[in-house]
Amino acid sequence: MGVKSMKVLNFGSLNLDYVYTVDHMVMAGETLASKEMHTFCGGKGLNQSIALARAGVPVYHAGLIGEEGEILLQTCAESGVNTDFIRRVSGKSGHTIIQVDRSGQNCILLYGGANRSMTREYVDEVLGHFAKGDMLLLQNEINLLNYIVDRACERGMEIVLNPSPYDSHLDSCDFSKISWFLLNEIEGRQLTGEKDPDRILARLGELYPEARVVLTLGAEGSVYRYKKEQYRQGIFKVDVRDTTAAGDTFTGYFIASILEGMPAPEGLKLAARASAIAVSRDGATSSIPMREEVRS
C-alpha cells in the first residue's frame, strides 16, 4: 500500500464513553433502568485517529486528557497512533453518557472537559511540527477550531473537516480554507440550510467550489462530489448492534483511501465496508476494524 509521504495530524477529542444499553431512550422526567453498562474509549478525534491507524495510515494525534484519561492515551498508543503531541491538563477528561437502544441507535450527552482547554500556545507548538502539504483532520469537539484552521492554512496544510457535532462554535470558522468536508445529512442540512441531499451537495459546491465533499446518508449510503464529478455508494447490510463510531470509521477509512490515491468510488466502498463492520460491534474504538478484516 502506498500512503503518500505527507504527515497526517488529527487535532481532536479524546473521550471516555459511558455506554448504557436501554430498552428505549430515556424521556424527560423518566427514570429508566439500564440493562448493561460499559466504559469505552471514544471521542470523534480519537476514534478517527484509530480508524486511520487501523487502515494503515501513520497518524499523529494532538489533544488533551485530564483525570482518568491515561487509558485514552494508552489506547491510542496500542493502536499505533503517534501520541507525542497528546498532553495532560488538570480537571476532567472529556466524557460522554451514551444510551444504545434495542435497534442499536444511540443518543449521546457530551461533556467537553479537557478537550475544551486548548490554548493558542499549544496549538502553535503542535502545528510547528507540520508543513505545507501535510494533512490536518478536525472535528468539532475541541475549542479554538477557528484558530487551528487559520494557522494550519497559513502553513499550507490540507484541511479535512468533519463538522461533527454541528454547533455554533463552527460559525467562526473560515470554511473557505477547508479542502475536504466529510459530513452526514444532518450536518449538511445545518451547514447549508437545505434538506434534500442533492441540494445540500449543490449548495456546498456553490459555497466552497474548490472543496471536495463526502456526504453520508445513513441507510442510503454515501455520495462524493467535486465540481461535476459525483459518485454514490450503498451500505453493506449487517445486523446493527451499535452505531457509535460508524461515522468515524467511515471518515478514517475514506481518508486512508485519499492518501493511497484511490479513485473516489473505491474509497467510498472501502469506507462503507469498514463502517458496516463497526456497526455490527459494540463500543467506539473497540468496534473499528483492522484493514485485513475490511479486505476479507
In the set 54, 126, 141, 201, which binds ligand RIB (CB under 6 A)?
141
The answer to whether 248 is a known catalytic residue is yes
Q: Does 47 bind ligand RIB (CB under 6 A)?
A: yes
What's the closest the beta carbon of residue 62 comes to ligand RIB, in angstroms? 16
- Scan residues 237-266 and list those touching ligand RIB (CB under 6 A): 244-245, 247-248
What's the closest the beta carbon of residue 156 comes to ligand RIB, in angstroms? 29
Beta bridge partners, 111, equal 95
Listed in sequence order, the residues at least 6 apart from 50 whose beta carbon sits closer than 8 Å to its beta carbon are: 75, 76, 79, 81, 252, 285, 288
Q: Map residues 92-111 to x or -, x wherever contact with ligand RIB holds by CB under 6 A.
A: ----x-----------x-x-
What's the closest the beta carbon of residue 41 comes to ligand RIB, in angstroms? 8
The residue type at 56:
G
What is the torsion angle, in degrees rounded to the nearest 10, for the CA atoms of residue 195, residue 197, residue 198 and residue 203?
A: 60
With beta carbons less than 8 A apart as the criterion, state whether 99 and 26 touch.
yes
Cell of 280: 455490527
- Cα–Cα dist 247/184, whole Å: 8
Q: Strand (E) positions, 2-150? A: 8-11, 15-21, 36-42, 59-67, 82-92, 94-100, 106-111, 135-138
Q: Does 134 bind ligand RIB (CB under 6 A)?
A: no
Closest CA to 141 of 61, 212, 26, 196: 61
What's the closest the beta carbon of residue 109 comes to ligand RIB, in angstroms? 10
Q: Hey, how many other C-beta atoms are within 10 angstroms of the C-beta on 133?
A: 13
In the set 9, 12, 43, 135, which binds ligand RIB (CB under 6 A)?
43
Q: Does 151 bind ligand RIB (CB under 6 A)?
A: no
Based on CB atoms, which residue is closest to ligand RIB, 44 or 61?
A: 44
Q: Does 15 bind ligand RIB (CB under 6 A)?
A: yes
Give the footprint of ligand RIB on this chain (CB under 6 A): 15, 17, 42-44, 47, 96, 108, 110, 141, 244-245, 247-248, 284
